[in-house]
């Protein structure tokens, strides 16, 4: 059976490596990105390029998005020459980014009216895993639509989960990132408070790591706060965005999260202080100088 043709928009670190993996596995791709060098790298490996979402969608059985915000996804979908204008009946749109679930469901309903399926499939793991086809993929959407693209997702992910109706993947990813980024904020501030109180940071880690607080996130925070090694490849800017999306989601659900509000305020303050490009454990520096 021939492989489906794929249109891929968003060739950042994650998306670019996902495309390379798909090309290595024999898929025919059309790509689009604002970064001309990223597009050229894919074209040099045999991909075609498109100048608009409409053109890309007209030539694809599956349209894949790996974009940074819900606003950008909506822009790419609804522009006059966007995906909605060119997507074929029977095609499937897969959103690999981290988006607001309400936005995802709206897009999915509009695509369904055109006879097009949608899967939200946010990602876990790193760009290196993307290049090797070893991502964790949190997919959701209509089960028949999921089955249409399952084999392609399995070429991209070591662990592919189907989590239910459209939006459940983005919901799960936001909850996961809320837990992780709140933990990093709390642990980073713990090291900063210890420093201010005259407690040795290494000794604090030695004590905390022997108890139930021990976790990979604690190790990431210790690596920066104690060893000055920044090795959690997720930026303060991205964490700030995702916590904001989580707060929007809980608002849409008619509830609130004071914990998320606190972490979000700290991430926003660090971002405003010019630290947005740093990895999340580097928020330790913000806490260390807080109110000085």
Give Cα 88 distance to the centre of its chain. Answer: 26
SS3 278: coil
- Of the listed 173, 222, 248, 258, which one is catalytic? 173
Kindly tell me if the per-residue pLDDT of 158 is higher than 80: yes
Strands annotated E in the chain: 6-9, 29-32, 48-49, 62-65, 92-95, 117-120, 123-124, 135-139, 157-162
The ranges of the chain annotated as CATH 1.10.1040.10 are 168-287
pLDDT of residue 1: 60
pLDDT of residue 2: 87
Let me know if 138 is exposed, middle or buried by CB neighbors in 10 A (0-12, 13-18, 19+): buried
- pTM comes to 0.91
Please write the tens of the pLDDT for every residue from 170-182.
999 999 999 999 9
For the segment(s) 4-164, the CATH number from 3.40.50.300, 1.10.3720.10, 3.10.20.30, 3.40.50.720 is 3.40.50.720
Please write the tens of the pLDDT for every residue from 206-254.
999 999 999 999 999 999 999 999 988 889 999 999 999 999 999 999 9
Cα(6)–Cα(27) distance, integer angstroms:
7
The ranges of the chain annotated as CATH 3.40.50.720 are 4-164
Which CATH code fits 168-287?
1.10.1040.10
3 classed as catalytic: no
Token pair for residue 194? Answer: 């210890």
């Amino acid at each position: 059976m021939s492989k489906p043709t794929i249109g891929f928009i968003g060739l950042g670190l994650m998306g670019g490596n996902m495309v390379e993996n798909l090309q290595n596995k024999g898929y025919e791709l059309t790509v689009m990105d604002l970064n001309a060098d990223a597009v050229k790298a894919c074209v040099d490996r045999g991909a075609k390029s498109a100048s608009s979402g409409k053109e890309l969608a007209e030539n694809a059985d599956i349209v894949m998005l790996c974009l940074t915000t819900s606003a950008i996804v909506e822009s790419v979908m609804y522009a006059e020459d966007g995906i909605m204008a060119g997507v074929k009946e029977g095609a499937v749109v897969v959103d690999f980014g981290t988006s607001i679930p309400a936005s995802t469901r709206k897009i999915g309903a509009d695509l369904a009216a055109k006879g097009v399926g949608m899967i939200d499939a946010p990602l876990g793991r790193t760009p290196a895993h993307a290049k090797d086809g070893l991502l964790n993929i949190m997919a959701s959407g209509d089960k028949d639509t999921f089955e249409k693209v399952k084999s392609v997702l399995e070429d991209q992910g070591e662990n592919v989960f189907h989590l239910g109706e459209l939006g459940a993947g983005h919901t799960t990813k936001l909850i996961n990132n809320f837990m992780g980024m709140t933990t990093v904020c709390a642990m980073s501030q713990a090291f900063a408070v210890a420093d201010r109180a005259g407690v040795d940071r290494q000794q604090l880690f030695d004590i905390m790591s022997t108890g139930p607080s021990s976790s990979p996130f604690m190790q990431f925070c210790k690596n920066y706060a104690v060893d000055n090694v920044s090795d959690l490849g997720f930026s303060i800017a991205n964490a700030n965005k995702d916590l904001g999306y989580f707060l929007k989601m809980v608002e849409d659900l008619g509830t609130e999260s004071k914990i998320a509000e606190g972490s979000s305020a700290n991430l926003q303050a660090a971002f405003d202080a010019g630290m947005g490009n740093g990895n999340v454990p580097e928020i330790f520096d913000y806490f260390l100088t807080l109110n000085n």
